[in-house]
Structure 1
């Protein structure tokens, strides 16, 4: 397909690009360029102009059925050690804070994004 100059992309083509990424958020911007006959930078520019970003969140961890039991056991053991003065909270290093939900909601401030 013949590539079109960035300043000549029609509004219909821009709308088609936005619809493609809305319907298929996992579409690669590099692979979308030949689909629409425009350059890769034109795809990125069109997305940026319309406040759409080509970055993808890739969750790498999920909760399993036995995770609840493990967390409960850990909390009970820590509480027992605190009650028996085996350890003190000043001896525990909390290196990161993150909130996980069972509904798949992600706190984006604590996430690392993978740029493909």
Structure 2
């Protein structure tokens, strides 16, 4: 089943995990939305540098450090995703608690591993 996924920290750099995750999500048939510091495209999707109005987001996967996450707290909660994946290095207890209070599942995991093991 396809899960519309928002990648925060998207990058066009092929060495970045966010780039790999975007491509693997597409290869697994998931629709993606992208937010990053710089514009560019991954597949046919443009990286947004703002916080666009999005509907139907199932999963948000984080690729930004905890110190840069507070600017996204309200935005992500407003999207009402089912879950937020905190990839290695992005774990943030404060944000995870806020998500849980808003009935959004915080998950400390790796999107790439989840995809490769069929747990996504």
What TM-score does the superposition give when structure 1 sets the normalisation length? 0.24
Q: Higher strand proportion, which one?
A: 2
What TM-score does the superposition give when structure 2 sets the normalisation length? 0.23
| Bigger Rg, structure 1 or 2 | 1
